Structure 1
Amino acid sequence: MQSLDDDQAVEVVTIPLAGKSTIADHMVIASGRSTRQVASMAAKLAERIKAECGRSPRIEGLPTADWVLIDAGDVIVHLFRPEVRSFYNLERMWSFGDAPAAMPEPPRTGEQPRT
């Protein structure tokens, strides 16, 4: 998650899947502002996973970077352009009636903190 924060990912959501699905224990969904940012976030995250885990994650969708899926074993990361994320709405599909755990964004310079 730190890598996504460093790359200024927006609307980062974590959905716990343990006990609900056998595909992974957690799903992370985040957006980038453009295909270029999505591709950059995906490449940096894949490098970090390889450095920390010793194995390269599986990556799908990198050439177009509208929706990039990174399969890191116990964690699956979906990186989207905002329009594509809105269209597929994975948070709703995978939340199982639970509200996804959204990470609040820090206020931008000059803005008041959200309450």
Structure 2
Amino acid sequence: MSGLPHSKVTSEQILATVLKILDDNKAEDVVQIDLRGKTSVCDHMVICSGRSSRQVVSIADKLAEDLKHELGVLSKSEGQETGDWVLIDTGDVVVHVFRPEVREFYQLEKMWMPIGKTATNAV
């Protein structure tokens, strides 16, 4: 396995790599939310959309594969069975890949953003 040992990879390095991979794989409406100091679950949350269930699963699979090869970061994922919403957990960065209508229904950005603020569009 190439890349740095996970213990030596920072959350900022993981985030930057995640954003690049999502851009390369045509993820849409990519939003990053800085959660440092707000929760112990993770440092960053990234939310994006794929146009179809097939693209959602493809983006998630490619993300997990590329993180492993580029940084040596292993991730866990859930939701590939239906492709409506896939969660990829790297430990420091959690990524949600949605079909647009499922994303609209759950509105995670609104749940995690402070009142009166908007999420940072990453791309």
TM range, normalised to the smaller chain?
0.7 to 0.9
SS at structure 1 position matched to 2:30 = strand
Q: How many residues align?
A: 104
Letter in 2 for 1:84: V
**What's the counterpart of residue 21 of structure 2?**
3
Unaligned runs of 5+ in 2: 1-18
Quick one: percent identity of the two aligned structures? 55
Instruction: State the TM-score, normalizing by the size of structure 2.
Output: 0.81
Of the three residues 27, 33, 42, the one matched with 2:60 is: 42
Matches within 5 A, 1:1-115: 1-97=19-115, 98-104=117-123
SS at structure 2 position matched to 1:65 = coil
Deviations 1:27-77 (A, max 9, x none): 000000000000100000000111133242010001111000000110000
- Between 1 and 2, higher relative CO (CA 8 Å, sep ≥ 6) is seen in 2
Stretch deviating more after TM superposition (42-51 or 93-102): 93-102
Tell me how far apart the structure 2 counterparts of residues 103 and 27 of structure 1 sit (CA, whole Å): 11
Tell me how far apart the structure 1 counterparts of residues 96 and 72 of structure 2 sit (CA, whole Å): 21
Tell me how far apart the structure 1 counterparts of residues 92 and 122 of structure 2 sit (CA, whole Å): 20
Tell me how far apart the structure 2 counterparts of residues 16 and 26 of structure 1 sit (CA, whole Å): 5
Tell me how far apart the structure 2 counterparts of residues 5 and 55 of structure 1 sit (CA, whole Å): 19
Q: Which has more helix, going by share of residues?
A: 2
Tell me how far apart the structure 2 counterparts of residues 46 and 55 of structure 1 sit (CA, whole Å): 8
Calculate the aligned-residue CA RMSD, in Å. Answer: 1.1
Tell me how far apart the structure 2 counterparts of residues 32 and 55 of structure 1 sit (CA, whole Å): 23
